[in-house]
Chains A and B, each alone.
Chain A
Amino acid sequence: MLTAAKNQVRVCLLSIKYNIMREMVNKVTFLTNVCFMVLNDASILVQWFILFRLREDVGGYTLREIMLLWGLTAASFGLSRILFARVFSLSELIISGKLDSFLVQPKNVLLSVMTSSTNISAVGDLLYGVVLACACRPGVGGFLLFLLFTVTGTVVFTAFALLLGSLSFWLVRMDILQSQMTMGMISFGTYPDGIFEGISRFLLYFIIPVGMAVWLPLHVIVNFDVRTFFALIGYACLLSGAAVAVFYRGLRRYASGNLMEARL
């Protein structure tokens, strides 16, 4: 059992490694993609400098907290798209019947699908997120919490995308909803939760789990609370468990396409 799990992890890591190596074949394109993504993310800071010229806080956040929020969102989303980029286009894979080539492999189907692609510009997102967090000087404890919540954020982003993508086993055109909901989640995640109130705040914590992916972790980094800390880890485990269960439940309904495809 343990050997099988070890082998599976090894296969996943190799898959990610080869994805990255494939993207790095053209070094100039790789470097341009990464550097320009960092610049692309950094340019949004202009917006916050302007808003903080108008008021001392935005939604109860200081500039440092906004930068930490941005860092956490960028790093979590970046890591999610480096390791599990295919999850974000899972709907398309299911709708077009392209899961066949994964089903015949002697390894875990879901993990094979998830690790079969890497978005290389996401390396820029991850780098930017970590550098921005360091620039905020959160201290050693704060930085370790940042790294841990980057992982839980990655799990929440990936699980949410997997959950939505898996609904394609039952519903048509989920590809559009999946991409819009995940992008919506990122958009909300780059603004402070203090500007939302009432039902919208509830929705952003429990239906589109932006709150659990970035807002609440940020509150824990700023003001550590042990109960919230464990609640966040529990939530990430619960959501990923639910997403995996929905995927395998849906997989029973999967109808193969007539597409001949080989994975090399």
Chain B
Amino acid sequence: MRKYAVIYQSVLLENLQYAANVAIGFFTYFVFIFIFIKLWGYMYRTPEELIAGYTKEQMIWYVMMTEMLYFGSNANVVAGEVAGDIRGGNIAYRINRPYHYTLYILTKYTGEWSVRLPMYAAVAAVIGAVMVGPLPRFRLITLPVMALCVILGITINAVFKLCISLFSFWIEDTAPFQWLYNKLILVVGIMFPVEIFPKALQPLLKLTPIYTVCYGPAKLIVDFSPAKCLEIVAAQVVYLAVGCGLMVLIYRKGVRKLYVNGG
């Protein structure tokens, strides 16, 4: 584990050097939040109206939190790096090093989002406070549990994106599969809470990664309850275990397909 801690530390320090670059992405984040503030402002006829059990403020905060997770974690770097390594042949050098390739990628990625996410969280808090108003049921004491839930959600997302990228061992370009996965997360998980979908669909959605990656963490931030928290964390642990198992399995099978042509 010590070697992964060293990798994490070095990536974290490197990213702290370029923290100002993260701020450049705030514009896109702001554009999305601005659109959703306007959209939900139109959808709610009166300030007291509830949609799927959410007030207007809760609904906007929900989207702000899921977008914060999306932009702050930027899981596309995992997908891009793994697919690039496999397609470009760089993996031939990396699999010989004294670490497990997939764990190295995950550790490196954790070092990256450790700088990005807090910056996006701060921006989200400022935009929310200025443009939406405070969250009615937010309690500071629940923050550590929320943080755990966020960390688990981001890691599960990275593991699934890594799994998709590992298919580059078999097919040349996995980007289209990443688009579909991203869109599933974006349309179903980021834009709306699960409760807004038809009742018949909700149990099905709870079985998808959406429940653990975006809905869970955002729901706890917007509307915390101990029972819900326990349910979400338990689902996340199961999802992470299954995802990691899949990841190792695909990697092992994929590496056997690797041909090194020299160069």
What residues of chain A have their CB less than 8 Å away from a CB belonging to chain B? 26, 28-29, 32-33, 35-37, 39-40, 43-44, 46-47, 50-51, 54-55, 58-59, 121, 173, 176-177, 180, 183-184, 187-188, 191, 194-196, 200
Contacts and interface: CB of A to CB of B under 8 A. Distances in A.
Given A50-B192, A187-B31, A187-B32, A195 B42 contact: yes
Contacts of A121: 176
Contacts of B39: 51, 58-59, 191, 195
Interface stretch (B183-191, B207-215, B221-229): B183-191
B38 A39 contact: no
Interface residues of B, number: 30
B172 interface: yes
Contacts of B38: 191, 195-196, 200
B192 A36 contact: no
Q: Is the interface of B mostly helix, strand, loop or mixed?
A: helix
B235 to A, nearest CB: 23
Contacts of B35: 187-188, 191, 195
Interface in B39-62: 39, 41-43, 51
Contact of A50 (B25, B41, B196): B196
Contact of A46 (B51, B175, B187): B187
B27 A29 contact: no
A4 to B, nearest CB: 40
A55 B196 contact: no
Interface string B158-193: 000000000000011101110110011001100110
B173 A46 contact: no
A40 B180 contact: yes
B180 A36 contact: yes
Contacts of B176: 32-33, 35-37, 40, 121
A195 B51 CA distance: 18
Contacts of A32: 171, 173, 176
Nearest to B177: A36
A43 B41 contact: no
A17 B35 CA distance: 38
Nearest to A179: B28
A173 B183 CA distance: 29
B197 interface: yes
Given A43-B184, A187-B32, A59 B42 contact: yes
